[in-house]
Amino acid sequence: MSKLPELLINFSDFYPGFSKTENYFYSILSRDYTLILSSEPEVLIYSCFGYDYLDFNCLRIFYTGENRKSDFSACDFSISFEYLNKENHYRLPCYSVRAFYFNFLPELVRELTRDEALVEWNRKSKFCCTVVSNGKSAVRNDFFHKLNATKQVDSGGRYLNNIGGAVEDKFKFTEDYKFVFAFENQRYPGYLTEKLMDAILVNSIPIYWGDPKVNKDFNPKRFLNYSDYIDEEALIQDILAIENDKDRFISMISQPVFNLNVIPQHLEEDKLLLFLNKAISKRKEVIPVARTAKAERHRIKLKIRSLIKKSPFLRERLLIEFKM
């Protein structure tokens, strides 16, 4: 067996508790490289929870599962939810990494038989639930209150909790419900987190709001899309109708999960590894963006954004909307 080539690598600006050696990217790259964590890496993979990446002058690969856009004045390659027609970008929405890491794909591609779906209909004794940790989505919050006023929606998260405390196991909690809220925190094309997938994995019907292009990934017959209804009352009435319609419920949860019953390209791990290898191969061939004039312009842009963020006056006068 041939020895794998060594690769000096580092990670920065990921979420609190992130492990540099026990994460999805470390795992997949370990197939082709002997990885060595280094303070002077050849390649940096960084995310959107800080600015430590500015201290690295090597080839940078940006990854985000959050609703943050790629900034190619800071990175050489990007892996994100966005639909970008760029050779140095790979679309990998948040749910994909979760599906890879926990090996959910076999469950997602297996269609329920009618008998299996009937078992789910008979087993699911509860109406609807949600598990939410923050109140940032006004659309989700408003719809929760409207549906809950019609028929109780059990809220098992830290936000709007009405069951006596936050649940420890989301899957165990949601599996007894016919419907599960799957509202994103924000709405942007391609921004598709684990919420829809997680509801499908427990054989419930997701009530979805978020990505306007969600049907490019998921079969629209497998969930209820808030945006497909003329108003919220129409959606509520349809939810109540399905709750009492065994055949329609069974039909919905028996549908293929993915649109046209085709697995999205970004769920093919070999293609992601091919993209990563292509990026890494450039580490000695090109001048990293971190060593170009773009990097200095990026730093100036960050300073301006910081000033604007600290000044409501500037935000109002300049009419600038931004995200940090």
pLDDT digits (tens, 9 = 90+) for 92-124: 999 999 999 999 999 999 999 999 999 999 999
Whether residue 33 sits in one domain with residue 71:
yes
Residues 174 and 232 in one domain: yes
Dihedral of the alpha carbons of 6, 12, 16, 20, in degrees to the nearest 10: 0
In this structure, the answer to whether residues 159 and 242 fall within a common structural domain is yes
pLDDT for res 94? 95
pTM above threshold 0.85: yes
Report DSSP state, residue 218: B
318 occurs within a structural domain: no
Q: Which CATH number characterizes residue 220's domain? A: 3.40.50.11660
Q: What is the pLDDT of residue 255?
A: 98
pLDDT of residue 323: 45
The answer to whether position 306 is within a domain reads no
132 and 244 belong to one structural domain = yes
Phi-psi region of 305 (alpha: psi -120 to 50; beta: other; left: phi over 0): alpha
What is the residue range of 191's domain? 112-255
Q: Where are the alpha helices (DSSP H) in the chain?
A: 24-29, 94-101, 105-109, 114-123, 138-150, 170-174, 195-201, 232-243, 246-253, 269-281, 293-310, 312-318
Residues 137 and 49 in one domain: no
| Share of residues in the chain with pLDDT > 70 (%) | 95
The set of residues, in sequence order, having a beta carbon less than 8 Å from that of 117 and lying 6+ positions away, is 203, 249, 250, 253, 254
Structure tokens at 192: 């598709």
Residues 228 and 272 in one domain: no
pLDDT along the chain (324 residues), means of 10: 89 96 96 97 97 96 96 97 96 95 95 97 97 91 97 96 94 97 96 97 98 98 98 98 97 97 93 97 92 89 76 60 46
Closest of 189, 297, 178 to residue 243, by C-alpha? 178
Domain count, the chain: 2
Instruction: Let me know if residue 313 belongs to a domain.
Output: no
